[in-house]
């Protein structure tokens, strides 16, 4: 057997780094379907999983892939799938099943330009709202946005930890550019990587209630074959897991599955601040767009403009508190994203009119250039009245 | 002598008795198929704690909710890929897919084909009641030609699948068809399927008095009488030649049984090179 | 059964006997057990259970041979039979033709 953690310094593309991150996190089951630009993740997992005693299976479609990783997780194995826009749409129903059954797993979406078949080989960030609301019904989800191959490695581990801790599918909203660019990736020693696993049941097996929450709002999870005779269903269910068709049961279940996220926001949400302490113009960005934003901020500062960047590592749950606080102390917020305004809507909502929330958007297909962002920063800076600009 | 009191039914310890009586209609065949499955599971499986039942959506899909084993009630048509993941992640589990004709062969058709092709080690029990019962009796891929359903009120213009042929052509290594009336043969078939490795498919014809029977002039007893009178047991018959016609005959039996490597056996052998 | 001649081991044949139990609150009155009992042990009763179904009742208890078919065919887990152990040395012959 070869090691799961390839400790050392590598030159890896984002997709490969994501696969290595999954293996380092303990993922031993991958079910996938080929789709540009995520195929490389599947290919790497197909090569590496047999080396570490795991299983790879290419399913007949993305719907099957998502169902299979839920099944594998219910049997106790950390599992993952990877896809892009069209496959992400197909997976939505079963993501909802994962949310309702409270099954840990990781779904990677290496975003490409859409809608529909779009530009299969070119990146975008147009699935961000879909990540939040793509499945039917009301629920909470966790979505991360890595901005480099190194982050693809680390955030995949983070995604597994979050999915196990909070018992739900966690989405990695990468983009084709980050997925296909190659950079230095440092993989630490296995002992230095902190891993989390699902909370385990204690006490008598016959008294175990699969959905009775623990102190942090998350119920311990019994896996198949352990003698707990659990029942998992997509129907609205009570603490025993039995379907109950009442509005009361619905309210209780929704409060549990949303509550476990909303009451742990400070442990889940992660952002990175860059030159934001005295900033007057705050850029808000994530993924590849944050890389261009970094360059734009530096150039703006060189020209005497007090710009800064708030980089979202966790996009969902959205860092509402951070944006609200930021809006109070900056003159203007500019969301930079590779779509025509999705996270921008959230920033606008949270800014609440206290600071103008502008957008540097793009239909997709190539990264937004630092020059274009800088141009927008300078225009905002030169506005006499910020309220004139609108996104 | 009989005593009419709530004594302990022999299958009670395999049922979630706090959920019995179940929701299936009076005369529904699903209950009988479910009962036969539990008898087979109890008599065959070495360790009940390592047995899991996966179902989809529909009346048959509710079966997973009544069995006192690890059970998973998944999305419509996706029981088989879910069961695939479950089995591959823990090959010690005996995984039974208990679902219906609509769930397995319409929306779930693609998954059935591929799991059979891979010879995934699963036992798939299909309760075929010739319609979509849970939603009120719509036409399914198994509804007989000219039959009345709520979406074919003037008669079904489509011919149904020959499920044993479909299963055999996809690569299933055990294919049988019984009716819920033939409880002993059915139980034995399920027991055989559970004891063997590979993709086993058992189609069970069942009455749906509320959905199908009501619209096609079949009272529950009429359906059973048809099963009794029209059935011809032909073990080893060629799946291409089995018929399912309420006038001409219903071929029953164990049609296909052979061994070939399961997905895991092939995968493990191939992956030895990597280790 | 009409025999051409009486089989030589008739005296030694032991026919099992059974007792039928009905779990009334589970029954949905489908009538399958009544219809398909090979010995005609059951009939529909006049009574209703709590859900309004006519449950079966035993009309010929001595005929039950513990074949378990009612138990097997019942979709509702509402009926089952239990073997009645025979006394040692007792011989039972089947006189029904």
User: What residues of B are in contact with residue C31 (Cβ under 8 Å)?
Assistant: 27, 220-221
Chosen from B9, B16, B210 to mutate, greatest number of chain C CBs within 10 A: B9
pLDDT at position A384 over 60: no
CB pairs under 8 A between B and C: 92
Residue B4: its pLDDT value, please? 40
Chain C residues with CB-CB distance to B4 below 8 A: 21-22, 24, 55, 57
Taking only the tens place, the pLDDT of each residue in A181-193 is: 999 999 999 999 9
- Taking the C-alpha atoms of residue A31 and residue B159, their distance in angstroms, rounded to an integer, is 35
For residue A327, the domain's CATH number is: 3.40.50.920
Which of C22, C29, C32 has the CB atom closest to B2's CB atom? C22
Mean pLDDT of B33-52: 97
The domain total for chain A is 2
In a domain, A204, yes or no: no
CB contact under 8 A, B78 and A63: yes
Provide the pLDDT for residue B2: 40
- A-interface mutation test, from B12, B63, B77, B88, most A Cβ less than 10 A away: B88
Number of folded domains that form chain B: 1
Strands (E), chain B: 2-3, 51-55, 70-73, 94-100, 123-128, 131-132, 138-139, 174-179, 200-205, 231-233, 244-245, 249-257
**Alpha carbon of residue C52 to chain centroid:** 24
pLDDT, greater one: A385 or C83: C83
pLDDT at C15: 87
**At residue A391, does pLDDT exceed 90?**
no
Q: Which residues pair with A185 in a beta bridge?
A: A10
CB contact under 8 A, C32 and B27: yes
How does the average pLDDT of chain A come out, rounded? Answer: 96
pLDDT band at B272 (very low <50, low <70, confident <90, very high): confident
List the single best residue of C38, C46, C77 to mutate versus B (max B Cβ within 10 A). C77
Of C23, C51, C71, the CB nearest to B6: C23
* Token representation of residue B73: 């009630």
Percent of chain B clearing pLDDT 90 (strictly above): 96
Please say which residue of A142, A169, A192 terminates a domain.
Answer: A192
Min CA distance, A340 vs chain B (Å)?
33
Q: How confident is the model over B70-83, as a mean pLDDT?
A: 98
Confidence label for C8 from pLDDT (cuts 50, 70 and 90)? confident
Torsion of CA B137, B142, B145, B150, to 10 degrees: 10
Contact A129, A109 (CB under 8 A): no
Contact A317/A258 with Cβ under 8 angstroms? no
Alpha-carbon distance of B142 to B211, in angstroms, equals 14
- On chain B, the residues whose CB falls within 8 A of the CB of A50 are 270-271, 273-275
Whether A167 has a pLDDT exceeding 90, the answer reads yes
pLDDT of residue C4: 84
B14: in domain: no
Mean pLDDT to the nearest integer, A229-241: 96
Distance from CA of B1 to the nearest CA of C (A): 5
Nearest to B35 among C30, C51, C72 (CB): C72
Long-range contacts, C8-14 (Cβ 8 Å, 24+): C10/C93, C11/C91, C11/C93, C12/C91, C13/C92, C13/C93, C13/C94, C14/C86, C14/C91, C14/C92
Neighbouring chains of A at 3+ CB pairs within 8 Å?
B
B-interface mutation test, from A73, A225, A237, A242, most B Cβ less than 10 A away: A225
Give the per-residue pLDDT at A156: 98
Average pLDDT of B174-195?
97
Residues of chain B with a CB closer than 8 angstroms to some CB in chain A: 16, 18-19, 49-50, 52, 54, 64-65, 68-75, 78, 81-90, 92-93, 110-111, 113-114, 263, 267, 270-271, 273-275
Give the Cα separation of A142 and B151 in Å (integer).
41
Looking at residue A257, its pLDDT comes to 96
Q: Which pLDDT belongs to residue C87?
A: 62
Q: Tell me how close the Cα of A55 comes to any Cα of chain B, in angstroms.
A: 7
Q: Is residue B12 in some structural domain?
A: no
- Are residue A23 and residue A153 in the same domain, yes or no? yes
Interatomic CA distance for residues B260 and B73, integer angstroms: 30
Q: Please write the tens of the pLDDT for every residue from A316-339.
A: 999 999 999 999 999 999 999 999
Domain boundary among A192, A208, A242: A192
Q: What range does the domain containing A377 cover?
A: 273-388
Q: Which residues contact A363 (CB under 8 A, 6 or more apart)?
A: A113, A124, A339, A340
Facing residue for B70 by CB, picked from A2, A51, A230:
A230
**Beta pairing, strands B138-139 & B123-128:** unpaired
Q: Average pLDDT, stretch B170-195?
A: 98
Contact A65, A31 (CB under 8 A): yes
CB contact residues (below 8 A), chain B span 198-237, against chain C = 220-221, 224
Q: How confident is the model at residue B7 (pLDDT cuts 50, 70, 90)?
A: low
Pure H helices in B47-199: 63-66, 79-89, 101-102, 109-118, 163-170, 183-195
**CATH class assigned to C14-84:** alpha beta
- Pick A224's closest partner by Cβ from B19, B93, B267: B93
CATH code for position B154: 3.40.50.970
Predicted confidence (pLDDT) per residue in A110-158, tens digit: 999 999 999 999 999 999 999 999 999 999 999 999 999 999 999 999 9
Domain check: are A183 and A294 in the same one? no
Chain B residues with CB inside 8 Å of A51's CB? 274-275
Are residues A149 and A14 both part of a single domain? yes
Comparing CA positions, the residue from B180, B23, B250, B202 lying closest to residue B104 is B202
Is chain A in touch with chain C: ≥3 Cβ pairs within 8 A?
A: no
**Is position B232 within any domain?**
yes
Q: Which residues contact A129 (CB under 8 A, 6 or more apart)?
A: A342, A345
Q: Which of B53, B81, B103 to mutate against chain A (most A CBs within 10 Å)?
A: B81
**At C80, phi and psi to the nearest 5?**
-155, 160
> Is there a single domain that holds both residue A24 and residue A164?
yes
User: Min CA distance, B161 vs chain C (Å)?
Assistant: 26
pLDDT score for A388: 42
pLDDT for B147 beyond 90 = yes
Give the pLDDT confidence score for residue A389 in this predicted structure. Answer: 41
Residue where a domain stops, chosen among A170, A192, A214: A192
Residue A370 tokens, joined: 């630092």
Question: Is a pLDDT exceeding 90 seen at residue A219?
Answer: yes
State yes or no: pLDDT of A22 exceeds 90: yes
Q: How far A225 CA sits from the closest chain B CA (Å)?
A: 4
Instruction: Among A51, A60, A227, select the one facing B111 at the smallest CB separation.
Output: A60
Q: With a cut of 50, say whether residue B130 has pLDDT above it.
A: yes
CB contact under 8 A, A63 and B49: no
A214: β partners:
none
Q: Do chains C and B touch (3 or more CB pairs under 8 A)?
A: yes
Whether residue C72 and residue B26 make contact (CB cut-off 8 A), yes or no, is no
How close, in Å, is residue C4 to chain B by CA atoms?
29
CA distance C67 to chain B (A): 11
Interface test with chain C among B4, B22, B221, by most C beta carbons within 10 Å: B4
Contact at CB, A226 and B49, closer than 8 angstroms: yes
Print the domain residue range for B235. 27-274
Q: Where are the domains of chain C?
A: 14-84
Name subunits touching C (3+ CB pairs < 8 A).
B
Which positions in chain C have a beta carbon within 8 angstroms of at least one beta carbon in chain B? Answer: 19-26, 28-32, 35-36, 51, 53, 55, 57-58, 61, 69, 71-78, 80
In this structure, are A41 and A166 located in the same domain? yes
pTM score over 0.90 = yes
pLDDT digits over B209-264, tens only?
A: 999 999 999 999 999 999 999 999 999 999 999 999 999 999 999 999 999 999 99
* pLDDT > 70 fraction of chain A, expressed in percent and rounded: 98
Would you list the DSSP string of A32-69?
Answer: E---TTTHHHHHHHHHHGGGGT-EEEE-SSHHHHHHHH
C94 closest CA partner among C4, C5, C16, C8: C16
Which ipTM score applies to this complex? 0.94
B5 CA to chain A: closest CA distance, Å?
26
| A280 and A176 in a common domain | no
């Amino acid at each position: 057997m070869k090691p799961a953690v390839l400790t050392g310094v590598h030159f890896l593309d984002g997709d490969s780094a994501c696969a290595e991150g999954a293996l380092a996190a303990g993922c031993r089951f991958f079910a996938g379907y080929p789709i540009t630009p995520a195929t490389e993740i599947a290919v790497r997992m197909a090569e590496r999983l047999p080396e570490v005693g795991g299983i790879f299976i290419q399913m007949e479609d993305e719907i099957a892939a998502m169902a299979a990783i839920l099944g594998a997780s219910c049997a106790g194995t950390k599992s993952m799938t990877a896809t892009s826009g069209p496959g992400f749409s197909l997976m939505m129903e079963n993501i909802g099943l994962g949310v309702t059954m409270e099954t840990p797993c990781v779904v990677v979406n290496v975003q490409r330009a859409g809608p529909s078949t779009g530009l299969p080989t070119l990146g975008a960030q147009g699935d961000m709202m879909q990540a939040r609301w793509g499945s039917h019904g009301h629920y909470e989800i966790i979505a991360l946005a890595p901005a480099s191959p190194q982050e693809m490695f680390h955030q995949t581990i983070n995604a597994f930890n979050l999915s196990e801790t909070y018992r739900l599918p966690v989405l990695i909203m990468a983009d084709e550019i980050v997925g296909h660019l190659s950079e230095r990736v440092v993989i630490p020693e296995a002992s230095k990587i902190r891993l989390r696993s699902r909370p385990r049941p204690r006490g008598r097996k016959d008294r175990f209630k699969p959905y009775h929450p623990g102190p942090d709002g998350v119920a311990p999870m019994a896996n198949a074959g352990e003698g707990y005779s659990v029942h998992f269903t997509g129907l609205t269910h009570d603490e025993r897991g039995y379907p109950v068709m009442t509005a009361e049961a619905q309210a209780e279940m929704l409060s549990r599955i949303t509550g476990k996220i909303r009451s742990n926001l400070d442990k889940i949400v992660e952002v990175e601040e860059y030159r934001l302490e005295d900033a007057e113009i705050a850029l808000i960005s994530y993924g590849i767009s944050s890389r261009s934003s970094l360059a734009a901020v530096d150039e703006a500062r060189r020209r005497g403009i007090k710009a800064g960047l708030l980089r979202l590592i966790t996009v969902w749950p959205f860092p509402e508190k951070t944006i609200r606080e930021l809006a109070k102390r900056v003159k203007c917020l500019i969301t930079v994203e590779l779509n025509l305004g999705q996270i921008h809507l959230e920033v606008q909502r949270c800014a609440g009119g206290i600071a103008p929330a502008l957008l540097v958007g793009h239909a997709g297909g190539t990264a937004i250039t630092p020059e274009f962002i800088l141009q927008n920063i300078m225009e905002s800076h030169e506005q006499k009245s910020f309220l004139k600009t609108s996104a | 002598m009989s005593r009419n009191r709530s004594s302990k039914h022999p299958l009670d310890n395999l049922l979630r008795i706090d959920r019995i009586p179940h929701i299936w209609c009076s005369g529904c065949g699903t209950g009988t198929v479910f009962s036969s499955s539990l008898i087979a599971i109890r008599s065959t499986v070495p360790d009940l704690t390592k047995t899991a039942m996966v179902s989809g959506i529909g009346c048959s899909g509710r079966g997973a909710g009544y069995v006192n084993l690890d059970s998973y009630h998944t999305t419509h048509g996706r029981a088989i890929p879910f069961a695939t993941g479950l089995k591959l992640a823990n090959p010690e589990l005996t995984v039974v897919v208990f679902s219906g004709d609509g769930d397995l062969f319409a929306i779930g058709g693609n998954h059935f084909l591929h799991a059979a092709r891979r010879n995934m080690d699963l036992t798939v029990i299909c309760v075929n009641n010739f319609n979509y019962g849970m939603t009120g009796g719509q036409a399914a891929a198994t509804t007989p030609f000219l039959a009345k359903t709520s979406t074919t009120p003037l008669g079904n213009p489509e011919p149904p699948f020959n499920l044993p042929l479909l299963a055999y052509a996809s690569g299933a290594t055990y294919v049988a068809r019984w009716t819920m009336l033939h409880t002993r043969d059915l139980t034995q078939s399920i027991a055989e399927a559970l004891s063997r490795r590979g993709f086993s498919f058992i189609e069970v014809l069942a009455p749906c008095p509320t959905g199908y029977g009501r619209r096609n002039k079949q009272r529950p007893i009429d359906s059973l009488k048809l099963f009794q009178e029209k059935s011809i047991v032909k073990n080893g018959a060629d799946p291409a030649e089995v018929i399912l016609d309420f006038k001409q005959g219903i071929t029953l039996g164990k049609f296909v049984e052979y061994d070939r490597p399961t997905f895991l056996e092939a995968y493990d052998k191939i992956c030895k090179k990597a280790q | 059964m009409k025999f051409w001649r009486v089989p030589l081991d008739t005296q030694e044949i032991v026919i099992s006997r059974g007792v039928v139990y009905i779990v009334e609150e589970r029954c949905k009155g489908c009538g399958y057990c009544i219809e398909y009992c090979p010995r005609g042990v059951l009939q529909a009763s006049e009574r209703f259970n709590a859900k309004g179904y006519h449950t079966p009742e035993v009309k010929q208890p001595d005929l039950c041979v513990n074949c378990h078919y009612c138990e097997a065919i019942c979709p509702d887990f509402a009926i089952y039979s239990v073997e009645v152990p025979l006394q040692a040395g007792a011989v039972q012959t089947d006189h029904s033709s």
